[in-house]
Amino acid sequence: MKFTYLFVLIWLAFLISSGVLLFSRGFLLARVSKTETSTCRRLSTNPNAEYVLTDEVVNEIFKDINASSNLCLPQKSKVIVLVVDALKYEFGLYKENADDPLPYENKLLVLQELLQQSPDHARLMRFRADPPTTTLQRLKGLTTGSLPTFIDIGSNFASPEINEDNVIDQIVKSDLPVVFLGDSTWTDLYPRRFKRSYSFPSFDIFDLDSVDNQILKHLPKELASDDWQVLVAHFLGVDHCGHKHGPLHEEMARKLSEMNEVIRSVVAGMDNDTTLFVMGDHGMTASGDHGGDTDDETNALLFAYSKKHRFYGNESGSDSEMLQQIDLVPTLATILGVPIPYSNLGLVNFNIVPDLQVPHLSKFQTLLLHSWQNAQQIYQYFFQYALENKRTFNVEQMDQLETEFILLTHRVQNIYNEVAYKSFIRDLNIHLRDILGTCREIWIRFDPTQMSQGLLFSFLPLFFIFLLVNNSRPADYAHIFKGKEVFYTYLINLAAGVFGYRYFKTFYFKTEEHGVIFFTALSSALILAFHTLRHWTKIATNWSEVKRFAHMPTRLLLFASVGVFFSNSFVIQEAKILSYLLAASILLLSYELLRLSARLEFRTKFKISQFLRSTALRLILASILAICLIRFTYTLFRCREEQGNCTDFANSGGAGFSIKKPGTGKTYILAVVVLVVYTTLTRLYLRSCGNLTGNSPNVLLARYGPTVASICAGGHVLLANSSIKNIQRTHIDAMALVIYGLLLLQIIVVTWAPLMTFVLPPRSSHTVTINGSESIVPEIFKKMKRMYEGDDDERRNQIPVVYGLATVYSSIVIAFGVFLALVMIVILEPRASIGMVVCVAVGSILLSVHGILRYRTATSFESCVQPTFTALVGWFLLAHFCFFATSHQTTLSQIEWRAAFVGRTTGIGQSNFISGILVILNTFCGPIFFFCMYSLLSTETFSLFALFPNLIRSCRNSSGKTDATTSITDLANEAVGFDMTRGELTLYEYEDVFLGTGFKLATQFFMLQGLKVFCAMMACTIHCRHLMVWKIFAPRFIYEALATFVSLPALIVGYLLVLRIHRAVDTLIKRINKEKVH
């Protein structure tokens, strides 16, 4: 039965998660990738070629230009593409008379020199990227010419091979050799495409030079070679410098100066028949981040240069100031004489195409042929896509676009001079941009079926958890969830999943995944409904005992926290809203405690002196301290672009905090001090509980491990952010690896021997006599009671003393939490780690206040072990508030990618899986930590009164006066019906209620988290056509969905930890029983 609850939790977590996943498939469903490829007949001036360009061929072409879509004109030049990652547009601008330029200004002087020397041979343009501005998505756009899918941002750590038609494949198919140097993302996207490739790992952002130096090592040799037609080099140093230091650091000046020399050397080494492109794949914010859709992130730089041939000018009709990144694909295809990729939506920009005379064709005929082939390719893709994916686009809009294109097909037949060409090309470009705009507006095709089913299958588990679990007593769960029935439930779900996988097409589902989720969720809902109906009598009875308007203030706090999702302004200010709600929950606990104190301790006459000495005052002061700490975290919040005073998105450095800017030494020292205080206080607490006595594995680890980990964490904080250059990166990473190793060791020890107790054998031959079937525990405590009350005979008869038994459960959870917190602290930025420790302090105060309050209001063991609803909501709010307190925001551009590289240099490993785990731990450190520690809400009352037994006397709630000689045990028995002085050992004696309560508490957190993500899903459904849906609501849903996917497993881990401790306690008690019998 102990593990039956665990399997039920896994089952419920699967149901909630699958509903969220199904909704995301409908809401974030992007365009369907097309696998068709473009082909063409390559015309050549070589008489021996298969298709020779002659006057007769030209005349045939212009007799019916609409039939020319499968023709490619001859290649115009070779191409060199230098991709400088994160090369922002402002980095290439030259500012005259700049006396004190910023580190990124006036460093690429070679661009200005070429523009002045050869204005017809050089172009500097704004290179506009489509969001999301992550490198992987930008490379897809730069090679396919298509718009990126929104959810593709999640694959930035796992680059899949591109299966859409793209310019790289078209170049290779046309027998044009390609050589690549640099970022290994290219070889992940296009394996086996390059004649030669020199690829290097791209994710060690602390390394500014290794990849660039490797490129420079091979680049001169490749420039001198003549066996390639396209050369691509992708430099990473500027992007890594932005991530590590930001654009305002002197290192940025160094890297840009290096790029200036690289460009100069390439220009000097390239031949006259080569066109050079220098470009950035995206920009960066003032803090060095990217990923979002701000102007700083989407405005990259493009520089084009041709030694011998001038570029087309304004007569071509192309934009001369800005180039959409997707326009690069048809432009490269035009220069190289290869087919434009099938899924391309970009336009040829002739301002960067060399003006080479094509034999037998005039200039305007060449331009017209290229432009019309581009238009036919876009038209074919767009309308074929609309035909295959009906109801994706508005019918009236499609009819209008089709009519306009038909008119253009008639006009193109009558272009005989440059004047007619300019008029036609202007209207053609407007029409093609309308198609692009239509795709941008309605490209994300919502699937209402998957969205509605996702909402339904997320709601049903929450509904049945509320009815079945929340309204049942912990002792009843053993009858509701029987082991054999849970086993059959898994078998039914397995059968339903197989059925959905096999017959998904029969029910018109598009994917196997949809079929599996639908049938497993449906069968599970029916099973839960069956359980609910079978036990409805007990459920209704328990429900009727609940006051209708109980916990109304706490309910309002909960509804306010989930109502945030329905307003864009509330989402923007969510950090402050959560801080108010968390403070309100603590105030509610304090108010209830003060109200009880006034009724119990001062029922006859209020005395100031008595109140000043009371426990209630100390806890109220602690509550005020918690609220002050919450207010302090305002200094740690990161701001959003929508907040006008946000320094993270300012164009110049200003006052305020950005965790990417060089911090002050005070911040780092404070982070180390807070870290040391946290580990020291935790160690002192465990020692005072007696849990550091003895030499068991977990005791030794808890005694010395946090000290070693705090030293390593402090050293990592100071050295990783130090400007000292002679410290090897491997030495800094070794400190982080030690902390990782200690957490792994803690997990192993908890699995093997978790207890932090020490059994002191008796010093005399006197023993406690019991029968073999009896338990030793009551006899031990009876004997201890008689010794405490002054029985000298009993004092002389020694009994086994077990150190740490009063906190046997919570001590292990706390020790585990210390190592988990230290891992998170080392992954976080120094200032964010302060926020993590502050949240732990607030959680400790919340536990203390609730522990006293729970004892005063409890009437039985069950009510004592079950936390109040206010404490439950407060813990839940604290878990999510910690997200903002650790300097995170729900925007895509502020994901802490640097966490992926903490402790992982290029020589230690490049696992993308580990990178993702570290980023998840950094981003969702709050929910993971507090949900793993959730069992403390049930145990803190017992450990508190075991450590401070006099609290029982001060918190007595009897109506009459109590004799001072009355024992504490009798007071506890009179108050709550059992001996509170036993501490957490009482939990073992009432194991059915305790384990049932732990299960109920976990399901209640399931319900709260499920309600939160359900509201996020509902808000996205309501606002799916809102102006800010992709900027605010969709990212907020993605963060909440990911928080759900990590919170539910964290709660399961927390319950599994309790089960493991309970089993070890059972083994210990049985061993003591056996020894006493013999």
pLDDT of residue 818: 96
pLDDT of residue 172: 94
Q: Which of 77, 1033, 238 is nearest to 572 (CA)?
A: 1033
CB 44 within 8 A of CB 540: no
User: Exposed, middle or buried: residue 1078 (CB in 10 Å: 0-12, 13-18, 19+)?
Assistant: exposed
Q: Please report where in the chains the tokens 């029969």 appear, as a residue.
A: 506
pLDDT of residue 812: 95
User: Exposed, middle or buried: residue 28 (CB in 10 Å: 0-12, 13-18, 19+)?
Assistant: buried
CA dihedral defined by 592, 596, 599, 600, rounded to 10 degrees? -170
CB 204 within 8 A of CB 232: no
Distances (CA, A) of 412 to 361, 373, 408, 409: 16, 11, 6, 5
CA distance 852 to 870: 14
Question: For residue 396, how many other CB atoms are within 10 A of its CB?
Answer: 8
HSE-CB at 434 with a 13 A cutoff on CA atoms is 14
- Extract the residue ranges of the chain whose pLDDT is less than 50: 152-159, 649-663, 765-774, 794-798, 957-962
Stretch (H or E) spanning 1064: helix 1034-1077
pLDDT of residue 153: 39
CB 303 within 8 A of CB 309: no
Q: Which two three-digit tokens encode residue 958?
A: 């009897």
pLDDT of residue 786: 59
Distances (CA, A) of 371 to 331, 374, 673, 1018: 10, 5, 65, 45
CA distance 381 to 326: 15
Contacts of 15 (CB under 8 A, 6+ apart): 457, 460, 461, 520, 521, 524
Contacts of 253 (CB under 8 A, 6+ apart): 103, 104, 107
pLDDT of residue 976: 61
CA distance 210 to 945: 59
